[in-house]
Structure 1
Amino acid sequence: MEIFELHRGTSPVILAFPHTGTYVPPAIWDQLDDNGKILADTDWHIHQLYRALLPGASTIRATHHRYVIDVGRNPTGASLYPGQNTTGLVPETDFDGMPIWSEGEYADAAETQRRLAVFHAPYHTALAAEVARVRATHGVAILFDCHSIRSNIPFLFQGKLPDFNVGTADGTSCAPAVEAAVLDVARSAEGYTSVLNGRFKGGWTTRHYSNQAGGVETIQLELAQATHLVAEAPPFALDPGKSERLRAHLGEMLQRLEALAPSLAEAQP
């Protein structure tokens, strides 16, 4: 099993899929409890949802599950949202706050460091190299971090999550035009709800790779899974009708971002 799947494209846009993988090495799988083995916190089918929406886009996808180690988290283990419930580098619980490991099987510091070296570091080494390559080719790289989550998770947030959750680290990770390109599509999508920098403001990838002065723009989109799944419960099947409707809006977002790239490159010092 490859640690990640990388496709080098011709577009200034890069799509990152940190949480769609479901591979769990056998030795780690045996440590999960029955709840953990559901793998409920997967970003189900997201890489399929975006497939071919922007044919020239580069893509990178982690193939392992976030319960092994979460490549969307700071490798130091620092919380993305201090003071709020969240899951860590190696999650101790699922998004509902329920245990996922058999008693005594949670990864210790040494095991966490091993997983960082085997899974986390290679993914980010490859992503950083692709960002640098695209930036050198186009004068700008636009990193679009692709996520999804269930609509109702009381452990993480109150009420029902909006359909489109756009994250720009409170406006610091990208130019206003990049933010607007995505948000305008989300807000005008009939029948969908949206929010900017709500519960999900952009994860570690969005924050870490952002470098507007250096020609790197980053933005995250967290989709409510009700927008594309038959049900937000096992077997987490993709709904073809919902998906096709949603894909039209996602494709427009990506096309707008790609169209912005020349002006962003020209604005570079």
Structure 2
Amino acid sequence: MTDPVEISRGNSPVVLGLPHTGTFVPATIDAKLNACGKALADTDWHIHTLYDGVLPDATMVRATFHRYVIDANRDPAGTSLYPGQNTTTLVPLTDFDGQDIWDIPPTAKDIAERRDVFHAPYHAALAAELDRVRAIHGFAILYDCHSIRSRVPFLFDDVLPDFNVGTNLGATCDPEIENRVMSICQAAEGYSLVLNGRFKGGWTTRHYGQPANGFHAIQMELAQSTYLSAEAPPWTFDTGKADRMRAHLKDILESLADWAPQTGGKI
């Protein structure tokens, strides 16, 4: 079986989390998906390619399994991230358009097994890398990398901004980290942005963002229109769009790598 997590280690204080770029679905699970589910439409397409090499000394922790197997950015207890709003669950039953994805929906036993085999190893790896980086610098910054179609009426109205920054209303990181990211996004000509809009940070950002303990977390949800030729199959990576976006992502990650808390950490 494919390893559920890939790790590329660096010594920067920045750790990139990529919970939704994987497309691996075990054959036994794929057999239970319907045609809609087998399309894997809700992938964070090519995000690992978009961020590859942007900050060479960053650590990257990537889930290789698809979110339809189990969502690595959901609370393992199954608690909703956005009570009262349309969203998807720990093991999604629908896609982002509200369409059923299963011929044979997962049982409670299925979900528990997938939590052990996929969800837990990803987070064990992510936690270990954050601990390792904090031991080097006295702090660690988790930058959680995501993308989504810019138009998903089931989840949000109108068109999603290009940059969607989430810090759970400022709770998950030092204010200067939020300010640095927002300043660069605001200066990016031709791009729109929002802070703590529809996406305030998923379970990963909220769980690991503990500034008092030296763990800072921020989520970046990019509109896929910023780097794909079209937000539809075959989900083609647009090199020209991507290069323009990568220049801004480079500025963001380099700024975070240069940050240090006012007390402790780097001098």
Specify if TM > 0.5. Answer: yes
Same amino acid, percent of matched pairs: 59
Gaps of 5+ in 1: none
State the distance in 2 between where 1:173 and 1:152 align: 27
Distance 2:66 2:101 in 1: 13
Is 1:175 aligned with 2:170? Answer: no
Match of 1:7 in 2: 8
CA distance in 1 between counterparts of 2:190 and 2:8 reads 33
Distance 1:157 1:265 in 2: 40
Partner of 2:214: 215
Between the aligned partners of 2:106 and 2:178, the Cα distance in structure 1 is: 38
**Which residue of 1 is the match for residue 259 of structure 2?**
260
Partner of 1:38: 39
TM-score, normalised with respect to structure 1: 0.97
Aligned to 2:93: 92
Determine the structure 2 residue equivalent to 1:117.
Answer: 116
Deviations 1:73-128 (A, max 9, x none): 000000000000000000000000001111xx111111100000000001101111
Quote the Cα distance in structure 2 between the aligned partners of 1:142 and 1:11.
Answer: 9
Structure 1 runs (4+) greater than 4 angstroms displaced: none
Aligned-residue offset at 1:13:
0.3
Q: CA deviation at 1:210?
A: 1.0
Query: Which whole-Å CA distance do the structure 2 matches of 1:259 and 1:253 have between them?
Result: 10
Q: Does 1:64 align with 2:65?
A: yes
Specify the alignment match of 1:141 in structure 2.
140
Q: TM-score, normalised by structure 2?
A: 0.98
8 Å CA contact retained: 1:163, 1:194? yes
Letter in 2 for 1:229: L
Q: Distance in 2 between the 1:115 and 1:23 partners? A: 13
What's the CA shift for 1:262?
5.9
Count, aligned residues: 266
1:108 aligns with 2:97: no
- State how 1:104-253 maps to structure 2 within 5 Å: 105-253=104-252
Task: Please say which of residues 153-162 and 27-36 is displaced more in the overlay.
Answer: 27-36
Secondary structure of 1:144 counterpart = strand
Is the counterpart of residue 77 in structure 1 residue 67 in structure 2?
A: no
Deviation of 1:263 after TM superposition, in Å, equals: 4.3
- For 1:181 and 1:106, locate their aligned partners in 2 and report how far apart those are by CA, in whole Å: 43
Q: CA deviation at 1:261?
A: 2.9
TM-superposed deviation, 1:265 = 3.6
